[in-house]
Structure 1
Amino acid sequence: MSEEFKCDLERLFDISTNDSDLLTVQTTVDTGFEWQAVDECKEKISPHLRVVKDRGKIFFNVNSKDFSKVRKLRSVDNIYVVASIQYLTYNTENADTNLTLFKESVKTCSQLKKCLNAWKEITRFPGKLYPTLEDYQNVVEIYKAKKEQNKNDDKVPGSKKRGCDPKLGEENDVLSFRVSCERTGTHNFESSQVACAVGGQMQDLYHWIVDLTSYQLEVLYKITHGQVIMGLRVTPESLHRRNIKYFGPTTLRATIAYNLLSLADPKPGDIIVDPMCGGGSIPIEGALELRHSFIIGGDNHEKAVARSRLNFEALEGSFKSDLIRWDVMQLPFKNSYVDAFVTDMPFGKRMGSMFDNRVLYKKYLLELARTVRVQHGRLVLLTYDRRSMVGALQVAKNLLKVKKMLGVSMGGLNAAVYLLKRTKLTYEQFQLSANNVTKSS
């Protein structure tokens, strides 16, 4: 954590602390796409928005009345209201002393009630945020019995969703919560110990029900060396889970799909194509967000196209889009026709092989270069197989130029995003030049 980031974040939080209408918001984003999230925030919230960027997250202040704009962001995964930012000095000999520090940090958090009230309004939680001890005692046993009875019904095969939507609660509900702790750095205490200490202190103060699985409020305690950030999560589940109902082996997260599309700098009237669409994440995100563009998705696998159709049919409304089964090495477009290609390339881990990619990537890139608009066309390509991409770019270097390359981390895997721009050279000229080289050799 740089000193510059530390100072900027402190100043940002101080501003919201001194204004009852301002909230400091933290959003998480896949590492490498932070600038796309910053740009979207300035576009959809305010062009003058002050944003503090960190690895995998961004922070900014927003008026509580404008929080609906934050919930419309499509580049971010999770949204938190920041209740405190503190810097603690730990006892290297005694872990219990440090756990006491965390308990005290809850007691001394002057912004916690303000943020809790904002959380209740944002999530539309209808229940009791500040129950009495009697309220708690009246419902806790009933809550536990009901949870035990319904525990098997809550389990959905393949679902990773935790918690429940606060707005689905009832007026007489006592808030259920959990504390999660994430740590960076070396400490003499465990994350579970911090979560237990902070959670116990909150329960003593507010008489909430502890529930580690079906909670309505998740309190995130993020420890980065000596910095401690307490955030209240306002998204019941990660925003990347939207749109897709039918998943395939390599289904792309919706938030990543949005960020890839934004890198393509789409313009009204553009024809945007995902030539290897899989389950349709990119075409669906494009159809929902880019209403003034025409979106086409295609794949050579019949099951992939069928899955994409099912996902489109599960959405409400009509869209300027189409799905086609094709061979990506023989696309049904004339030369210099498509404005932008945006796709998740086969990467040889869960689909395809690295050996095949060395040959296929070259053919893919040449076909995309043929059909994308000369001089103005853009390609945004996501891949884990950088070696094959480097070889393909060498073959197509006269047709495509690298404008930007982002290193991104998704689910623990390191990938790369290439933004390519089409050169002025026509495909016919490229072929003629290639033939002349072949003859001379």
Structure 2
Amino acid sequence: MSGTEDTAESLSEVTFDNSCEPGNEDSNPGISTKDNVITIGATVPTGFELTAADEVQEKLGSKARISKDRGKIYFEIPVTSLPQVHQLRSIDNLFVVVQEFKDYVFKETKEEALKDLEDLAKKLPWTDPLEVWRLNTSLKKRKNRRKKSGQQFNTKKDKLKDDGSGEGTVDKKLHNVLESAQVQDSENGDGMEPPDEDEQSDSKEESPSSGEQESGDCKKSEIGTEQLKFRVTCNRAGDKHSFKSNEAARDFGGAVQDFFQWKADMTNFDVEVLLNIHNNEVVVGIALTEESLHRRNITHFGPTTLRSTLAYGMLRLCDPQPADVIVDPMCGTGAIPIEGAAEWSNCYHLAGDNNPQAIKRTANNISSLLKQSKGCASAGKPIDSIQWDICNLPLRTGSVDVIVTDMPFGKRIGSKKKNWDLYPSCLMEMSRICRPRTGRAVLLTQDKKCFAKALSKMGHLWRKSQTVWVNVGGLHAAVYLLRRSAEKFEETKSHW
């Protein structure tokens, strides 16, 4: 039995309490996780929402819904699938949805609108999402942090026992989960970083502690015996709101604090509550990641390191086939070929750059990737790195199936003036090494005008198949999928 299957079996024994949700007053107090479906929200590279939705469908069997707010998708899974969610390659950050309002009506005045948000915090069905948060936290922490986590969030121990055994508390089940689950360590990166275009702020209000509250959807005595630290992050988009993001985070956070008697802490928090507002769509969630998953596999960063999630989206766009030779001729720190070797191990990945420092970083990152294999027999990865000149590659004509690269934007590296000479030369050399008829190229650039000019001269070599508009560090960039024409390179030199 695999580690993931062991995890699912362990999680299936855990019971969740839905008795506090509206409309469930007469329902049974416990619902098995086999029947308990949760809604997961995920932030993804903007422009690659469809790619992320396809991956969710392929690997989890769940149909994802793309949010109107760019860079977010939502999908439903059984709780037992939580470990697999962390293995998705296209996901930046994860959160469990507390409640979603697709057509929330905001009051016209700021005071009334903020008062409604305060009241909303006390009416939300917090119980199950907080249980999911606790389970997720236990899955991802090392043994020396499990004890602390259990002390901070000690919930319903009497209801979380093995059937008939009398000795299987939730802590023992979670111990089994931690031993068997194939989940990334938190230090490999997991967090909640909202998209660049969203307005962001954190709740900074700390109110004096008071007696235990009795209103709301669940009793605070069930949530924990010790005081948790929390913060509220508000991501707001739209121009029809009478309030600002920091005001919404402050007032909503104050209501959460009063309800749970938690302590506000902007840096050393245990729980991050998310308040996502996009026009009239409001989603409240609890973050399941601490650092963005896009940092995986990269230990040595450069000035323009590409996000691993964006690298995955670019690779998936070219539809790698078994035995394909995939080349990144301007690899930087190697994010694209490393992501490719991790996900498409049946292909051969080659990383190259003209900068010796970049090749050194790539080699170090490849070494770190190999160490993650823990010395098993199949520890080797189909990946190599080499220093070369992008305009004179030491590769045979027509020997490469796929080219995937992040081209210089002309900002941090190079200049837009140099791009006018570099881009045509790059495309010409790429057309030489790329296999006619079946070859593909996926190229990312923010210098769209220069790229369009260079591509216009090579219509006999490349056909533009698709353009994906993406946000890269706040810059409006494009990912171009090109397909190599059937014309052989030798026959085209006269055209150039």
TM over 0.5, shorter chain: yes
Task: Specify which of 387, 390, 412 is matched with residue 449 of structure 2.
Answer: 387
Alignment partners' CA distance in 2, 1:427 and 1:88: 58
The answer for unaligned runs of 5 or more in structure 1 is 1-13, 132-159, 164-170, 436-441
Confirm or deny: 8 A CA contact 2:398 2:433 kept in the other structure: yes
Question: Structure 1: which amino acid aligns with 2:50?
Answer: W
Question: Do the aligned partners of 2:49 and 2:66 also contact (CA within 8 Å) in 1?
Answer: no
CA change 1:161–1:265 in 2 (3 A) is: closer
**1:370 aligned residue:** 432
Preserved contact between residue 93 and residue 192 of structure 2 (Cα < 8 Å): no
What is the SS of the residue equivalent to 1:126? helix
Q: Per-residue CA shift, 1:173-195, capped at 9, x if unaligned? A: 64221011122223222222222
Q: Counterpart in 2 of 1:210?
A: 264
The Cα shift of 1:161 comes to 9.7
Aligned letter for 1:49? K
Identity of aligned residues (%): 39
Cα distance per residue 1:294-324 (max 9 Å; x no partner): 1100001111101111122223233111000
**1-structure distance, mates of 2:78, 2:86:** 13
Residue segments in structure 2 that go unaligned for 5+ positions in a row? 1-21, 139-148, 156-190, 194-201, 203-223, 374-379
1:268 is paired with a residue whose SS is coil
Once the two structures are superposed, the pairs formed by residues 35-434 of structure 1 within 5 Å of their partners are 35-46=50-61, 49-54=63-68, 55-86=70-101, 87-93=103-109, 95-110=110-125, 112-124=126-138, 125-129=149-153, 174-185=227-238, 186-315=240-369, 316=371, 317=373, 318-431=380-493, 433-434=494-495
Q: Any idea what SS the aligned residue of 1:127 has?
A: helix
Distance, in Å, in 2 between the alignment partners of 1:428 and 1:363 is: 16
Is this contact kept in 2: 1:340–1:379, CA < 8 A? yes
Q: CA deviation at 1:172?
A: 8.1
1:268–1:293 Cα contact (<8 Å) kept: yes
Superposition RMSD in Å: 2.4
Q: Structure 2: how far apart are the matches of 1:78 and 1:353?
A: 33
Residue 71 of structure 1 aligns with an amino acid whose one-letter code is H
Distance 1:183 1:265, change over 3 A: same
Deviation at 1:50, TM superposition (A): 4.4
Residue 130 of structure 1 deviates from its aligned partner by: 6.6
CA distance 1:262–1:250, change in 2 (3 Å): same
The question of whether the paired residues in 2 share the 8 Å contact of 1:130 and 1:207 is answered with no
- Whether the 8 Å contact between 2:192 and 2:287 is mirrored in structure 1 is no
Secondary structure of 1:305's aligned partner: helix
* C-alpha distance after superposition, 1:203-241 (max 9, x if no partner): 222222211111121111012233221011101111112
Q: Quick one: structure 1 residues 313 and 50, their matched pair in 2 at CA, closer, same or farther if it must change by over 3 Å?
A: closer
Which structure's residues are more often helix, by fraction?
1
Question: Is contact 1:51–1:60 with CA below 8 Å preserved after alignment?
Answer: yes
The equivalent residue for 2:176 is none
Task: Say which is worse superposed, 365-374 or 100-109, in terms of deviation.
Answer: 100-109
Structure 2: how far apart are the matches of 1:98 and 1:53? 23
Residue 104 (structure 1) shift: 1.5
Task: Report the Cα distance in structure 2 between the residues aligned to 1:65 and 1:123, rounded to whole angstroms.
Answer: 14
Query: Structure 1 length normalisation: TM-score?
Result: 0.82
Structure 2: how far apart are the matches of 1:369 and 1:127?
Answer: 61
Q: Work out the CA distance in 2 between the residues paired with 1:161 and 1:407.
A: 22
Provide Cα deviations, 1:277-306, integer angstroms capped at 9, x if missing partner: 011111111111111111100001111101
Return structure 1 stretches of 4+ with deviation > 4 angstroms: 160-163
